[in-house]
Amino acid sequence: MARPTIELIDQNNQLIFADTLDGRTISLGRDREGNDILVPCASASRLHGRIVGNEKQGYYYEDCSSNGSTFGQQVIKAQKVRLTHGSVIGIGTYRLVYTHSTSNNADLVRVQKTVATAITLNQTAGFELSFKAKNQKSGIAKTIHVKKEYFTIGSDSDSHAVLDQFYPQIVIKIINNRAFIEAKGQGVRINGWEMEAYPVQLDHQDCIAANDWILTTDLVCGADIKGHPYKIITQNKKMKGLVSKISTYSSFDEPVMILGETGTGKELFANAIHQASGRKDKPFVVINTATIEKTLATSILFGHDKNSFTGSGSGKSGLVVSADGGTLFLDEIAELTPEIQAMLLRTVQYGEVRPVGSNLVKHVNVRLISATNKQINRVLCRDNSGFRDDLFYRLAVKVIELPPLRSRVEDICCLMDHFMQLARAKYTFLPKDLCYAEKAYQEAKNYSWPGNVRELSNACMSAIMDTNQKQVTGIITPAIKAFLNQSTTIPEHLHRFYEKTKAKHDIDVVCSELGISRATYYRYRREVGEE
Residue 108 forms part of a structural domain: no
Number of domains forming the structure of the chain: 5
Residue 11 forms part of a structural domain: yes
CATH of the domain at 466: 1.10.8.60
Cβ contacts of 9 within 8 Å, gap of 6 or more:
15, 16, 94, 95, 96, 97
Same domain, 475 and 504: no
Whether the pLDDT of residue 53 is over 80: the answer is yes
Residue 287 forms part of a structural domain: yes
Same domain, 147 and 47: no
pTM exceeds 0.85: no
CATH of the domain at 385: 3.40.50.300
CA 235/CA 266 separation, integer angstroms:
17
Write down the pLDDT at residue 23.
Answer: 84
Residue 479 forms part of a structural domain: yes
Write down the pLDDT at residue 489.
Answer: 52
Whether the pLDDT of residue 487 is over 80: the answer is no
Same domain, 10 and 66: yes
Domain boundary among 170, 198, 219: 219
Same domain, 265 and 367: yes
Q: Which range has the top average pLDDT, 409-418, 430-439, 507-516?
A: 409-418
Same domain, 397 and 410: no
Same domain, 376 and 441: no
Helix/strand/coil (H, E, C) string of 374-397?
Answer: CCHHHHCHHHCCCCCHHHHHHHCC
Residue 115 forms part of a structural domain: no
Same domain, 33 and 60: yes
> Residue 522 in 3-state DSSP?
helix
Residue 123 forms part of a structural domain: no
Same domain, 388 and 271: yes
Write down the pLDDT at residue 104.
Answer: 41
Range of the structural domain that residue 371 is part of = 230-401
Same domain, 208 and 261: no
Q: How far is residue 39 from each of residues 36, 116, 418, measured CA to CA in Å? A: 10, 12, 27
Whether the pLDDT of residue 120 is over 60: the answer is no
- Before 168, cis peptide (omega within 30)? yes
Kindly tell me the number of DSSP H helices and DSSP E strands found in the chain.
15, 31
CATH of the domain at 10: 2.60.200.20
Read off the pLDDT of each residue in 219-247 and give the average, rounded to a whole number. 77
Same domain, 415 and 466: yes
Residue 261 forms part of a structural domain: yes
Whether the pLDDT of residue 353 is over 50: the answer is yes
| Mean pLDDT computed over every residue of the chain | 79
Write down the pLDDT at residue 328.
Answer: 92
Write down the pLDDT at residue 111.
Answer: 35
Same domain, 210 and 236: no
Question: Which is nearest to 76 in space by CA: 89, 85, 86?
Answer: 89
Domain boundary among 401, 425, 459: 401
Residue 109 forms part of a structural domain: no
Ranges assigned E (strand) in 384-506: 398-401, 435-436, 471-472
Write down the pLDDT at residue 175.
Answer: 62
Same domain, 213 and 140: yes
Domain boundary among 367, 401, 435: 401
The pLDDT tens digits for 377-434 are 555 654 455 678 888 889 989 999 999 998 899 999 989 988 887 777 667 678 877 8
Pairing of strands 256-259, 398-401: parallel
* Of 361 and 411, more confident: 411
